[in-house]
Amino acid sequence: MAVVQDRLSETELRMDERDWSRLVFLSLLWGGTFFFTGVALKELPPLTLVCIRLSLATLILLPVLWANRIPFPRGIAGWWPFAVMALINNVMPFSLIVMGQTYIPSGTAAVVNATTPVFTVLVAAAFGEERLILRRVAGVLLGLCGVFILKGFEFDIGSKQTVGVLFCLGATTCFGFSALWARRKLAGAPPIGAATFQLASGALMMIVLASVFDRPWQLQMPGMVTWLAVLGLAALSTALAFILFFQIIERSGASNVMLVTLLVPVSAILLGYFFLGERIEAREIVGALVIASALLVMDGRVFRLFVRSGAA
């Protein structure tokens, strides 16, 4: 069994040029998530924002689904995998990240989100999907050090920064479980179908939550800038991004697609700096570099390049 798992891990580490280009493009789309959210939160409460995001993304993808003649799932058994995926990959993490961004800047939230591969590896190891080998353990510990550096070594549990970081860490944990669920339950599903069905399920859940807690019909109508941010969040950072997400999972595996979070903070921090007026502190840069180093250690590609160079 261990031999099979080793071969599976090696297979998942292989990505061709097209997959890498998809991964870079996905990082830009998801980096924009934190920017668009930072803009929209000025006029919309968190749950309402997530509700609109998922609902609009679903409406955008439905014509694409019909054009590709992909049938809807049948019955509870057909919808169940997508509903669970929506809960752990959309509803819970999106809500946690948005609530976290009410306490911390968008760039900081993106850097915390970069720990997603750490939790993906831990979840995969806990459920027997991958062996927890030495470089993965080292990467996990290094990644946690990066989060502490990012936090500024402040241990005030009641501080706003701590609350925001904890919200975002909760979201990354959800993403770790969603990668495992996608691998086990959504394998073979068309990327457009998987994206549409999970977003539709998530939209229904968020309509209920937003109605109960935010009562959006009582809110003041947002301005044009907010609506443009919401549209970008729904069309680019959600609808298009999740099509790419499932394409990469289908071609290269769940572990590889989560490496996208290594690239997301760069675009998110720069967008926040140039358009939202957010400051970039030295510890955020150091924390981001430490987390990036952790992901490179966990990934193992750098070590193999050194080995090949030495052999050559």
pLDDT digits (tens, 9 = 90+) for 201-241: 999 999 999 999 999 999 999 999 999 999 999 999 999 98
Per-residue model confidence (pLDDT) at position 302: 63
Count of all residues that appear for the chain in the document: 312
- The DSSP symbol for 236 reads I
Mean pLDDT of 257-266: 69
Q: Which residues, at least 6 apart from 47, have a Cβ–Cβ distance to it below 8 Å?
A: 95, 98, 206, 209, 210, 213, 214
* pLDDT band at residue 272 under the 50/70/90 scheme: confident
Task: Read off the pLDDT of residues 134-189 as tens digits, 9 standing for 90 and up.
Answer: 777 787 788 778 777 766 655 555 578 888 989 999 999 999 899 889 888 988 88
- DSSP result, 258-289: GGGGGTHHHHHHHHHHHHS-----HHHHHHHH
Of residues 182 and 299, the one with the higher pLDDT is: 182
Torsion of CA 147, 150, 152, 154, to 10 degrees: -40
Per-residue model confidence (pLDDT) at position 22: 82
Per-residue model confidence (pLDDT) at position 203: 97
- The DSSP symbol for 156 reads -
Burial 30-64 (b: 16+ CB within 10 A, else e): bbbbbbbbbbbbebbbbbbbbbbbbbbbbebbeeb
* pLDDT band at residue 243 under the 50/70/90 scheme: confident
Per-residue model confidence (pLDDT) at position 278: 74
SS (H, E, C) 240-258: HHHHHHHHHHHHHCHHHHH
* pLDDT band at residue 196 under the 50/70/90 scheme: very high
The three-class DSSP label of residue 179 is helix
- The DSSP symbol for 23 reads H
- Rounded Cα distance between 122 and 144, Å, is 12
The three-class DSSP label of residue 223 is coil
The closest of 68, 199, 175 to 114, measured between CA atoms, is 175
Q: Pull the structure tokens for residue 289.
A: 């570099």
Mean predicted lDDT score pLDDT of the chain:
82
Per-residue model confidence (pLDDT) at position 122: 83
**How would you class 154 by CB atoms within 10 Å of its CB: exposed for 0-12, middle for 13-18, buried for 19 or more?**
exposed
The structural domains of the chain, with segments of one domain joined by +, span 39-294
The closest of 250, 96, 252 to 173, measured between CA atoms, is 96
Q: Pull the structure tokens for residue 210.
A: 């937003």
Mean pLDDT of 55-73: 94
Q: pLDDT at residue 109 above 80? A: yes
User: What are the C-alpha distances in Å from 218 to residues 44, 95, 99, 197?
Assistant: 11, 20, 20, 29
Per-residue model confidence (pLDDT) at position 297: 80
Count how many Cα atoms sit within 13 Å of the Cα of residue 213 in the half-sphere of its side chain. 15
Q: With beta carbons less than 8 A apart as the criterion, state whether 260 and 22 touch.
A: no
Of residues 147 and 54, the one with the higher pLDDT is: 54
**Residue labelled with tokens 């590609």:** 301
Q: pLDDT at residue 98 above 70? A: yes
